[in-house]
Each structure stands twice: as C-alpha cells, then as structure tokens.
Amino acid sequence: MIRLIDVEKFYESGAGKTWVLRRINLEIREGDFITVMGPSGAGKSTLMGIIGMLDGAWKGEYHLFDNAVHKLDNRRRVELHKKYIGFVFQQYHLLDNLTVAENLDLPLSYRDIKKVEREGMVADILDRFQIVGKKSLFPNQLSGGQQQIVAVARAVIGRPKLILADEPTGSLHSSQGKMIMDLLRKLNSEGTTIIQVTHNNEWAAYGNRIIQLADGWIVDGQNTVGTVAAASQ
C-alpha cells in the first residue's frame, strides 16, 4: 500500500542542513497496524506529516497504491489525502467555534457528499463513538479524553483506508487511552490500515509491527511485537 524509498528531510539552519529524516525505506501493507516509536526529536511526527501529505518539503520516493506521490503537485496530493487518509493530531486540533457535530462534518464538507448523506454519516459516527449526547457541545465543554475521541471520530468519519495517529493518547488518562486504542484496534480489524506514534509500550503492543526511529534513522523496523516487548523488559 505504501512504499517509501530513501525519503529524507532537512531544515536549513544557519550554516548548513539539519537532517530530520535520513534514508527512510519502508513498506506498509494494507491491514497493517504499525507503531512508530523513538525518543523525542527522533522525527516521528515529521514522518507522519510526510505520509499524511501535510508536509511537502522532502526528498525521495513515496508510493501510495499506484500513485507516485513525490511526482504529484499539491492539488493532486490534497485529492489523495482526502480519498485515503484520516489524521489524528497529538493536540486534537478541533475547531473551537464549531460544535462536535460540526467538527465531525468538517472533513465531509470538503468532499463531494450531499448534505443529507453527510447528516446520516455524522449521526452514525456519533452513535458508534457513543457521543450522541455531546453533539451540540463545543470542544471547550469536553474533557481532554472526550476531545480526543471526537478527534479520532473525525479522522474516521470519511472511511479512510489509512489512519495516521500521532500520539492519540498522549495526554490521556490510561482508561481513556485504552478506549481510544480499542477503537483503533476495532477499525484495524475491519480492514483499516493504521500507523500510530506512541511512547507507551502497552499501546505499542496493539500493533503488529514496530518501527524504531532515532535521530532520523530507522534503527529497527523488522522486529515483531514480541521482541520489542521482551527487549524493553
């Protein structure tokens, strides 16, 4: 589904270049549940941004299904993003001025979907995430965990084939974190490919494959869940 070949990214800094990602080679199959781990500053968020096509300034090859993303212009990338990807941000990034239902409707409103249909989809997702009662509340009327649930729901609503979740449980209490993770696992079992970033070994174990990043390099991308769990003990 996704193939990255020698993807690199750097920032210009004063004298020279600061490398953030170095020669990333990665193959992701449909149905994978991948966990990206690594110390702070390793380049995890940067990698997610590139895969999610929220960042265009990098080198290398990126194939998504049959599309050579590195050759596409901005508009085509937006199209691809809309078609395949749902993104859950570390900091939720809900719009403060919109209600829960309106936040959920937002990605749909940017796709060519009829209003009635959209209303149905929003009602459906509210139901699935058990937040029907919150639909007319504004984000600042929700707890952090509830906000993250809405953020996940918003990533899912467009029925993306790939969900990118950057520390979706970052600031959550463990029981709320578990709820989010269970949700992701359920989506994965229904066929959605998932890439998550986490520092938490317990959540890492939800995936079937772990990629370790350090200083922009993939240091270990082939380990099974079991060995990582063992190594960390």
Ligand X SMILES: Nc1ncnc2c1ncn2[C@@H]1O[C@H](COP(=O)(O)OP(=O)(O)OP(=O)(O)O)[C@@H](O)[C@H]1O
Does residue 169 touch Mg ion according to CB under 5 A? no
3-class secondary structure, 226: helix
- How many binding residues for Mg ion (CB under 5 A)? 1
Closer by beta carbon to ligand X, 45 or else 212: 45
Tokens 């078609």 belong to 83
- Residues constituting the chain: 233
Given the complex with other proteins, which of 158 and 207 has the nearer CB atom? Answer: 158
Packing angle of the helix pair 144-156, 174-189 (nearest 10 deg): 10
Stretch that binds other proteins, among 108-116, 189-197, 213-221, 222-230 (CB under 8 A): 108-116
Select from 35, 45, 103, 198 the one that contacts Mg ion (CB under 5 A): 45
In the complex with ligand X, which residue's Cβ is closer, 32 or 167?
A: 167
Site for other proteins in 58-77 (CB under 8 A): 74-75, 77
What lies within 8 Å, CB to CB, of 106 at 6+ separation is 95, 98, 154
Contact between 35 and Mg ion per CB under 5 A: no
Nearer to Mg ion, 45 or 193 (CB): 45
CA–CA separation, 56 and 69 (whole Å)? 10
Q: Which of 202, 193, 211 is nearest to 229 (CA)?
A: 202
What is the CB-side half-sphere exposure of residue 21 using CA atoms within 13 A? 25
Residue closest to 104 by CA, chosen among 159, 144, 141: 159
> Which backbone phi and psi does 70 adopt, to 5 degrees?
-65, -20
Of 25-33, 37-45, 99-107, 120-128: span binding Mg ion (CB under 5 A): 37-45
45 vs 146, beta carbon nearer Mg ion: 45
Q: Which of 1, 66, 4, 67 is nearest to 29 (CA)?
A: 1
The C-alpha atoms of residue 100 and residue 133 are separated, in whole angstroms, by 10
CB of 77 to other proteins, least distance (A): 6
Strand partners, 13: 16
Which residue stretch of 52-60, 63-71, 170-178, 202-210 sits at the interface with other proteins (rule: CB under 8 A)?
52-60
140 binds other proteins (CB under 8 A): no
- Regarding 186 and contact with other proteins (CB under 8 A), the answer is no
Residues that bind other proteins (CB under 8 A): 45-46, 49, 52-57, 74-75, 77-78, 81-82, 87, 89, 91, 93-95, 97-98, 106-107, 109-111, 115, 154, 158
Q: Which residues bind ligand X (CB under 6 A)?
A: 11, 18, 20, 38, 40-46
- Residue ranges in contact with Mg ion by CB under 5 A: 45
